[in-house]
A and B are shown apart, each in its own frame.
Chain A
Amino acid sequence: MANAAFPRPDMPGPQPVEQTKVTSASAASVAPLLRTSGGEVQDRVFKSAMILCGLAVLGILVLIVYELVSRSSLSWQAFGFKFFGASEWDPVNKQFGAMPFIYGTLVSSLVALIIAVPLAVGVAVFTTEMCPRVLRGPLSFFVELLAAIPSVIYGLWAIFVLVPLLSGYVQPFLATTLGWTGLFGGPQYGIGMLAAGVILAIMIIPIISSITREVLMVVPQHQREGVLALGATRWEMIRVGVLRNARAGIVGGVILGLGRALGETMAVTMVIGNNPQIVKSLFAPGYTMASVLANEFSEATGDLYLSALIEIGLALFFVTIIVNALAQLLVWTVTRGQPARANA
């Protein structure tokens, strides 16, 4: 599937010009095609070439799995399953545990989802249900534009704009109002888990929003009219008639966003603080699976160190595949399965 955050291109459909061009081709231009009795051979060659291209796609995936598995075997043999439970990351003493990175990846993605989901669904509801027709195109274009900004530019902006904003205004506010939860304590540097979560949220909003929009548009119009006819207000109509029917698809979009957040590297690496620790406070620096690869891979010394890093890559690979497959299944049941169940 093409990345869902991108606009789906429309096909111009068959052009009559093309057709007449073919049918009116003079005998002279068709003749060489007919004369060659080797057409069958060429056909077979062409088909095999295309099959090869298709097989290459399979090959790439096999190659990825093979390389990751074989190159991480050293670390697997040394630590086994303990690798994912241990929280010590000490390259000097050759002690490697992936827990701080798994924790950082999960927490930063969770923070991102908490911020992004309400916003993304809100934007989708606004564009499909409330917004004047004229604004619909530009609005979705601008939200999709967010998806076209490279990750490293998000990171750049986060370092120089978002982080000072967080440490100057947001963190003092959170510390005084919600400090008692323990989630918002400690020094307020700006850089840390919270900054990573916020920048991730901005990055995954377009994905969740565009899929939610797609799903909402599939909800049949008479569903809306039926609910309105029963005397519902517009808000009740959206809640009961639209959102409830599109539930599975929206969850699919959210999980797809989660998939992107889990694997996102550059922007997170630039603001999370890169410190392998497990701390309750969101103000504290953390580390993610993707960013430890980005930071330490090219300067890792020793086979075990490299192998441990590649094993983190392998784990990241499997997690994102499972998450993405789940999301695709959910979106698919809504947009291509049977029409939304009446009055769930």
Chain B
Amino acid sequence: MTGAAVLTVVLVLAPLIAIFGYLVYKGVGSVNWAFLTQIPKPEGEAGGGMANGIVGSMIILGVASVIGIPLGIGAGIYLAEFGRGRLGDAIRFTADVLNGVPSIVIGVVAWAILVRGHGFSALAGGVALSIMMVPTICRTTEEMLLLVPQALREAAYGLGIPRWRTTLSITLRTATSGVITGVMLAFARIAGETAPLLFTALGNEYWSGRLPFDSHWHRQSWTLGLDQPTAALPLQIYKYATSPYDDLHRQAWAGALVLIILIVTAVAAVRLAVRRSSFGAA
């Protein structure tokens, strides 16, 4: 029977190795300077890159983080420090429910609120992703804050430090590494999301804002283009993978490699940071 168990491990690890192997094999040859600095060429023409997608992803993820991280941490603080009653339980349950809502449904809702009547925008994409961040951050923050010993809070109160100051500078501070872990995991989760962006950020073949420099490296006034349809790496991978051109398939692999390097680095960094701070305690 041990053999059967080993077989399952092999069967589970095989696709993982196959995916990573194929990704590296196909992607490494395709990631080059042009890919990282140019925008897509017109349909059917070889060459070009995903620079606008990389920047667009960063903008959308930035918007999502600016909204989702403070909201999630705040809700987590509420649950840990004040949320003993029925309201706390309701919020806890709601966060768990939100965590299971399919991302495409969140995209539909973001469309209904922000896109309908206003047009596709990076802002709408960012809001959709921020909704996906909140439950994860909220629940990990709560868990981490509850692990901080009560004595630490009482010591602070004993010194006459107000409660808000205690919570922010002592409780939250002590739990920092755990809270950051939660934030990073939420970030890693949304970084590759495609479905909520399909009809919020939509995608774009060009830069959605204006760059600080024009093509001749002259300075110009620049915009982020938050109100414009915006390219994103996952959207571009999706579009290229389902297109009929070989060169676009090649670029889809390159984009996937760039995307996964970003995500795996984040996850590995978090694991390393956590292991270092937990002094080898399993």
Measured CB to CB, the residues of A under 8 A from B are 1-3, 6-7, 9-15, 18-19, 22-23, 25, 30, 33-34, 36, 39-40, 42-43, 45-47, 49-58, 60-61, 63-64, 67-68, 71, 118-123, 125-126, 130, 139, 141-143, 145-146, 148-157, 159-161, 202, 205, 209, 234-235, 238, 259, 262-266, 270, 290, 293-294, 297-298, 309-310, 313, 316-317, 320-321, 323-325, 328
Contact = CB atoms under 8 A, between A and B. Distances in A.
B102 A316 contact: yes
A148 B260 CA distance: 9
Contact of B192 (A1, A25, A153, A309): A153
B102 A46 contact: no
A22 B102 CA distance: 44
A298 B160 contact: no
A2 B152 contact: no
A57 B134 contact: yes
Given A54-B78, A68-B108, A149-B260, A3 B199 contact: no
A309 B109 CA distance: 12
Interface string B59-85: 000000000001111110111011100
Contacts of A324: 96-97, 99-100
B109 A149 contact: no
A294 B255 CA distance: 21
A297 B111 contact: yes
Contact of A266 (B16, B165, B189, B194): B194
Given A46-B167, A53-B71, A156-B237, A122 B4 contact: yes
> A-B pairs with the 8 shortest C-beta distances?
A150-B192, A263-B102, A122-B8, A53-B74, A46-B164, A324-B100, A9-B181, A54-B78
B113 A148 contact: no
Interface string B163-177: 111010010011101
Given A156-B237, A263-B101, A151 B195 contact: yes
A270 B5 contact: no
B91 interface: yes
A186 B252 CA distance: 31
Interface residues of B, number: 116
A235 B2 CA distance: 8
Identify the interface centre among B22, B104, B191, B277: most chain A CB within 10 Å of its CB: B104
B242 A3 contact: no
A57 to B, nearest CB: 5
Given A146-B16, A202-B15, A297 B108 contact: yes
Interface string B112-139: 1100000000000000000100111011
Contact of B139 (A1, A12, A25, A317): A1
A320 B82 contact: no
Nearest to B13: A142
Interface of B: 1-2, 4-9, 11-13, 15-16, 18-19, 22-23, 70-75, 77-79, 81-83, 87-88, 90-91, 94-109, 111-113, 131, 134-136, 138-140, 143-144, 147-149, 152, 155-156, 159-165, 167, 170, 173-175, 177-178, 181-182, 185, 188-189, 191-195, 198-199, 202, 234, 237-238, 241-242, 249, 252-253, 256, 259-260, 263-264, 267, 270-271, 274, 277-279, 281-282
Given A14-B174, A157-B19, A321 B281 contact: no
A310 B107 CA distance: 11
B102 A57 contact: no
Contacts of A234: 1-2
Contacts of B271: 7, 141
B74 A10 contact: no
A249 to B, nearest CB: 17
A153 B23 contact: yes
B155 A1 contact: no
Identify the interface centre among A22, A49, A202: most chain B CB within 10 Å of its CB: A22
A2 B182 contact: yes
Given A2-B182, A150-B263, A152-B234, A57 B8 contact: no
Contact of A18 (B15, B143, B147, B170): B170
A19 B75 contact: no
B238 to A, nearest CB: 5
Contacts of A309: 108
Contacts of B19: 149, 153-154, 157
B254 to A, nearest CB: 11
A155 B170 contact: no
A49 B105 contact: no
15 contacts: A18-B174, A22-B152, A43-B162, A46-B163, A50-B75, A53-B78, A58-B91, A123-B8, A142-B13, A143-B12, A152-B194, A154-B19, A159-B242, A265-B104, A294-B104
A125 B5 contact: yes
A56 B138 CA distance: 11
Nearest to A2: B140
A310 B116 CA distance: 13
B11 to A, nearest CB: 6
A12 B1 CA distance: 39
Contacts of B94: 57-58, 60-61
A225 to B, nearest CB: 19
A291 B28 CA distance: 30
A261 B107 CA distance: 17
A130 B2 contact: yes
B167 to A, nearest CB: 7
Contacts of A30: 159-161
B178 A11 contact: yes
A319 to B, nearest CB: 9
